Chain A
Amino acid sequence: MARDAGRDPSEDPGLVARVLRGDKNAYEGLVRAHKDAVARIVSAHVPQAQVAELVQETFVRAYVSLQAYRADSPFSHWLSVIAVRACHDFWRGRYRSRETLHADLSEAGRAMVDNAPDVSEQPAEDALAGDQARRLLAAALDRLSPTDRMVLVLTCLEERSTAEAAGLLGLSRANVKIRAFRARKALRAMLETTSFER
């Protein structure tokens, strides 16, 4: 987890101790030090419009459960687990209330593939990168379950290890492996459909 340059991570346990002694203002130091890193994690999982809200949610949750923090691991690691789980909860809530309308994947994919110039004329990375790819990705992810979605982003897109993803989501390694395999297969099936529909 990246942090503010020039800041000593060993200051974190001291600030945590001050907050636990009743000094609420000391928490501001922790927020300032980790807000960008938390925003980076959160933006990987939720729509851009929700990032600020989820960052706030992460820090409030961290404050509420600050007594559970053990100084044997860096504060940033502990905070990243809370951030990922807050994102997971966000999607679970969204799926429950059905606020998200599933985007039309084939339409987004078709548009992306149609607008991409011929591979022989231009490298694929130039042709496919950009806003359309992000739209296609969002549409594809919308079709997965909240947990599968989180697992896919962590393992396939961010290329984190199974153990790391399991730790962040609070799942077993075997469960993450199964979910990653299933989600990846589903994603590829969606992309294949898109590819054929051209």
Chain B
Amino acid sequence: MKTRTKTNTKEHTKKYTKEFTKERVDRLEDALRRAHAGRPVPETGEAVVRAVMASVRSLPGYAARPAQVMAPHERLARVFYPFAAASALAATACAVWSLSVAQGLEWLLVRTVLADPTGLGALRLAGL
């Protein structure tokens, strides 16, 4: 019974010490947060502005950008010429293609006629 009481007292002391420490740490942490919030912020006067501008002036400046808005004829030319070039290319491709098709058909016709000049073969084939 005596030992148990002793253990209980020890645990109680341990728990109390732990709570006490936690409370102190919480207070310290809170004090640190307040100290941080209430820190002095140094004045940034003319001297800082002058120092910054002196540094900036020693650096290379940004080159002036070309104007974003163009004259109407420039805008038209910018759109028209690429479009015209693309159209011409497409038209050439189409022409080449259609010529090839026409030539192919013609060649097929000639071969057919030469193979069966009287047309009897074709009639026979059709069952007439």
Q: What are the residues of chain A within 8 A of B21 when measuring CB–CB?
A: 192, 195-196
Q: Which of A14-22, A77-85, A161-169, A174-182 contacts B (4 or more CB under 8 A)?
A: A14-22
Complex CA gap A192/B24 in Å reads 8
B20-33 interface bits toward A, Cβ cutoff 8 Å, 1 = contact, 0 = none: 01001101111111
B53 within 8 A of A: yes
Flag whether B62 is at the interface (Cβ < 8 A): yes
Chain A interface residue bracket vs B: 35 or more
Q: A27-B56, A188-B25 are in contact. List 10 more A-B contacts (CB 8 A).
A: A21-B64, A31-B53, A40-B41, A43-B42, A52-B51, A63-B59, A109-B28, A129-B38, A134-B35, A192-B25
Residues of A within 8 A of B24 (CB): 113, 191, 195
Question: Chain A's nearest CB lies how many Å from the CB of B30?
Answer: 7
Judge whether B92 is part of the interface by a CB distance below 8 angstroms.
no
- Kindly list chain A residues whose C-beta atoms are within 8 Å of the C-beta of B40: 43, 48
Q: Is the CB of B48 within 8 A of A134?
A: no
Contact B55 A60 (CB under 8 A): yes
What would 11 A/B residue contacts be, using CB atoms closer than 8 Å?
A38-B44, A39-B48, A56-B48, A56-B55, A125-B31, A128-B31, A129-B35, A130-B35, A137-B36, A157-B33, A157-B37
Q: Considering the complex, which residues of chain A in the window 13-46 have a beta carbon less than 8 Å from any beta carbon of chain B?
A: 19-22, 24, 27-28, 31-32, 35-36, 38-40, 43-44
Task: Indicate if A106 sits at the interface (CB-CB under 8 A).
Answer: no
- Chain A residues contacting B63 (CB-CB under 8 Å) are 22
Give the contacting residue for B52; candidates A31, A109, A119, A134; CB below 8 A: A31
Report if A186 contacts B (CB, 8 A). no
Q: A64–B42 contact, CB under 8 A? A: no
Closest chain A CB from B31 CB (angstroms)? 3
Q: A63-B59, A191-B28 are in contact. Are A35 and B34 (CB under 8 A)?
A: no
B49 and A129 form a contact (CB under 8 A):
no
How far in angstroms is the closest Cβ of chain A from B62?
5
Most buried by A among B29, B56, B61, B65: B56
